[in-house]
Amino acid sequence: WGCACDSDSTLEQIQCLVKQGQYRKALEVASSLQRVSGHLEHALMDLKRLVCDDFELVTDQVKGRYLRASRDLPIGTALIRERPLVVSDAQGEHAAKVFQQDFVAEIQQSVQDGDEEAEQLMAMLDAIAMVVKLSVEKTESITLRRLAWLEGHCLEAGDLDMRNLMFTKMVEPYRSRVTAKDVGDVYGVLMCNRFWGSDRQSDVMWVCSMFEHSCNPTVFRGDVDPSKPKKDKYRSRKMTTLLPVKKGSALTVDYIGLPTVYAPTWARRSALGHWRFSCLCQWCTQQPERCRAFVCPTCKEPELTPAGPDLSGAEAASSEDPKSIARLKNLACLKCGFDEPSEAYLNRCIQAEDDFKDAPELLFTSGRRLSEFHSANFAVAWNAFYQDVIFRCASPDEQRAVCELLVESLFRLYGYHHPQSLEFIHTLAELSEDQEEQAQILALEHVIFVTFFQEESEQLDQESYRLMFSLRPGEELPEEVACAKPWLNVPTTPSVQAGYRDHVQSI
């Protein structure tokens, strides 16, 4: 903020307001200045991104900084489109230039051996290396300035050991140009603000890093097809509201994402561990544990679940026995309400989990005890879809069954068709050989598009129309068809016509 402006007292007032977390008031005062230059001009640009018509940055003594709605936001509001400040992955492109070769090679070998912790550590090293390079080479001042806005963790004993290790493994000229404290500061900020996605890369955003976490969020981080790899890893990320948000309410995103969030509470808390907080959303504190589901012995529906959040799995996860399974208690059927399964039945359910863990085989319908909606089965289905070799080798009926299971599981979890269902739904349309069925699937896809991706919906609806009428790649739509926009009048099933948007509103 240090620069020449109309009044030193005004500058002090702005600085004080920012320190107090009164960002909107600081913006109002700064905008009233007749002349701004240098750092203040850049700071004004930053403030205008953090305080806008749809949302604003606020500071709370307990929660710290977070974004809240500046007005009532309807479903599908595009809040912001932002490029990440830092993108890193296990390839270690920057790490290889900043850290010693044998240090990097040892971690990369662990990555190749399938060690997921090593994969995330390599991505972290790569991100730290990138920031150190920017600082030493004095490039990308915008990136460094916006990183400085972000709050980081206070380093604990284990973090300090890692900081010291990283510092000692640096090569010149970087090691002599930074201190161990510098490395620790960067480490704390990156650890606190990174997103680890299904594309196996770590993103550190700026504005988007200031959203609160919720396992059942109000905002979706991603584009139309967030799981499909894109050539530009620095492509912008779009934030869109999933649900209506009242003015003054916190805006929340899911830090861990699918498929990780489709898991019992104890597993989600474990995944959130490096952010160092316990999620207090309704899924984690009140609602039934939908992701740990069994077959009800009374109504035979796959809806027998723990009646509340399941925290017992943490004990099993820390056990030395790799087949240890969390105890089951307080089970109730979401369908018929039955809540008194016998001890013998609970033991058979635990045995079913144990057997599935031993030999995971995808369930398209519920087994004798295990529900097809169990998180272990969802993980197998998810991996089958995204492992191209496996999915392409499956028969069309098997491919269809995988997609249907994923779509139904996500609808059951969220209570509405989540945008990340789109890829599965579109694949179902491609697999369908019945034109009427295909039109119904594309109608559902259309409703989701216009709900969550209004800007892109027309282009994507054209692709749906091309699919319906078997147009080859590169074949242009006839001019009269393009002008008439027939894809906006795709016939829908009664369930689609029932009011998808109203249904989401009720959720």
Helix ranges restricted to H, 301-387: 313-317, 343-358, 375-386
- pLDDT tens for 1-59 read 444 444 557 777 877 887 777 888 888 887 777 666 666 677 777 778 888 889 998 88
Cα 79 to Cα 20, 148, 245: the distances in Å are 25, 23, 12
The number of CA neighbours under 13 Å toward the Cβ of 278 is: 8
Is the pTM higher than 0.85? The answer reads no
Distance of CA 22 to the CA centre of its chain: 29
Instruction: Give the C-alpha separation, 98 to 174, whole Å.
Output: 7
User: Pairing between strand 252-253 and 212-213?
Assistant: parallel
Instruction: Give the C-alpha separation, 38 to 279, whole Å.
Output: 41
Instruction: Give the C-alpha separation, 507 to 498, whole Å.
Output: 15
Find the farthest-apart pair of alpha carbons in the chain and give their distance in angstroms, rounded.
79
**Residue 148 banded pLDDT, cuts 50, 70, 90:** confident
What burial class does residue 20 get, using C-beta atoms within 10 Å of its C-beta: 0-12 exposed, 13-18 middle, 19+ buried? exposed
Q: Please state, as a whole number, how many other Cβ atoms lie within 10 Å of the Cβ of residue 153.
A: 17
Match 């490096």 to its residue by tokens.
274
Q: Please state, as a whole number, how many other Cβ atoms lie within 10 Å of the Cβ of residue 88.
A: 28
Match 């989990």 to its residue by tokens.
353
- pLDDT tens for 298-321 read 999 999 999 988 876 555 444 444
For residue 115, the one-letter residue type is D
Comparing 97-111, 198-212, 276-290, 446-460, which segment has the lowest mean pLDDT? 446-460
Q: What is the CA radius of gyration of the chain?
A: 25
